[in-house]
């Protein structure tokens, strides 16, 4: 089953990082967050990816095309440009099969998915798509099994959002008993990591985001939610990027399931 990863946005709220590179290439623990995301999928048996590229697409292409050079010791003859790689120096090699699709800089998400759809095999009744800026300890294989059991056109993964503000706990007489710093809320939001029947493509329209299509199938009772109570974190600001790197530095990394 193919997994489409949306990599085309400009990430304007991460401007310090994304002025020179696309948002999915911001670094967590010395690796692009996109790489972390792909490692999660591959760990659960899904290693075929379609990258929906847009803003600074060449940065992502270059990273994977030259990954052998970036991760190996090698010799280079500058006159002949012949290269000799010392592959024994290379760490474990990733097993990714990637289709790179340039979907345009200003294209909306729904249309990006449509532009990628021609690379989904005709005989595959399902596909996945997610956003290129979040990590999780989600068991993706379980989401796929849940989706097939539900029988709906689509399944999204529901996660609990984290408040961007500290919460004040109040007792009687308007006295404050405690503070909670940015607690996890009880509500559910779409955390990405969705699974869809091929027919979902019929609900997408050029020039639209993905949300109208999700609303269309929801109105028909054809959208399910897999509730994930575990770790989920999306990077939208520099503070959130710093938080993920701090977690990585501790060595206790919830999303490092591989």
199-208 pLDDT tens trace: 999 999 999 9
Q: How far apart are CA 110 and CA 104, in angstroms?
A: 12
Report yes or no on 132 lying in a domain. Answer: yes
Q: What is the CATH number of the domain that holds 221?
A: 3.90.550.10
Residue 55, domain member (yes or no): yes
What span, in angstroms and rounded, lies between the C-alpha atoms of 116 and 51? 8
Instruction: Give domain status of residue 235, yes or no.
Output: yes
pLDDT-based confidence at 99, cuts 50/70/90?
very high
Q: What's residue 55's pLDDT?
A: 94
Rg (CA), the chain: 20
pLDDT tens digits along 48-90: 999 999 999 999 999 999 888 888 889 999 999 898 988 777 7
pLDDT band at 134 (very low <50, low <70, confident <90, very high): very high
- Give the global pTM: 0.90
Residue 217 lies in a domain: yes
What is the domain range of residue 145? 3-157+187-250
133-144 mean pLDDT: 97
Question: Per the structure, how many domains does the chain have?
Answer: 1
pLDDT at 20: 81
Would residue 165 count as lying in a domain? no
User: Which of 77-81, 186-190, 213-217 has maximum average pLDDT?
Assistant: 213-217
Residue 245 within any structural domain of the chain: yes
Where is average pLDDT lowest: 58-62, 87-91, 109-113, 123-127?
87-91
Q: Which residue has the tokens 């990394």?
A: 253
For residue 119, tell me if it sits in a domain: yes
User: Torsion-angle region of residue 45: left (phi > 0), alpha (psi -120 to 50) or beta?
Assistant: left
Instruction: Please report whether residue 180 resides in a domain.
Output: no
């Amino acid at each position: 089953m193919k997994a489409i990863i949306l990599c085309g946005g400009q990430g304007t709220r991460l401007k310090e990082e994304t002025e020179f590179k696309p948002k999915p290439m911001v670094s967590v623990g010395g690796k692009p967050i996109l790489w972390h995301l792909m490692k999660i999928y591959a760990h659960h048996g899904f290693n075929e990816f379609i990258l929906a590229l847009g803003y600074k697409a060449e940065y992502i292409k270059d990273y994977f095309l030259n990954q052998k050079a970036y991760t190996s010791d090698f010799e280079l003859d500058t006159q002949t440009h012949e290269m000799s790689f010392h592959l024994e120096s290379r760490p474990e090699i990733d097993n990714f099969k990637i289709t790179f699709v340039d979907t345009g800089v200003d294209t909306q998400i729904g249309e990006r998915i449509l532009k990628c759809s021609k690379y989904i095999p005709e005989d595959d009744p399902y596909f996945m798509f997610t956003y290129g800026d979040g990590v999780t300890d989600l068991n993706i294989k379980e989401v796929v099994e849940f989706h097939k059991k539900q029988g709906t056109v689509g399944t999204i993964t529901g996660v609990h959002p984290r408040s961007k503000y500290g919460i004040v706990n109040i007792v009687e007489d308007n006295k404050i008993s405690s503070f909670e710093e940015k607690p996890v809320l009880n509500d559910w939001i779409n955390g990405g990591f969705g699974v869809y029947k091929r027919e979902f493509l019929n609900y997408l329209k050029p020039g639209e985001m993905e949300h109208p299509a999700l609303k269309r199938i929801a109105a028909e009772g054809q959208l399910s939610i897999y509730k994930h109570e575990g770790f989920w974190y999306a990077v939208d600001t520099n503070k959130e990027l710093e938080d993920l790197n701090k977690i990585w530095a501790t060595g206790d990394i919830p999303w490092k399931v591989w």
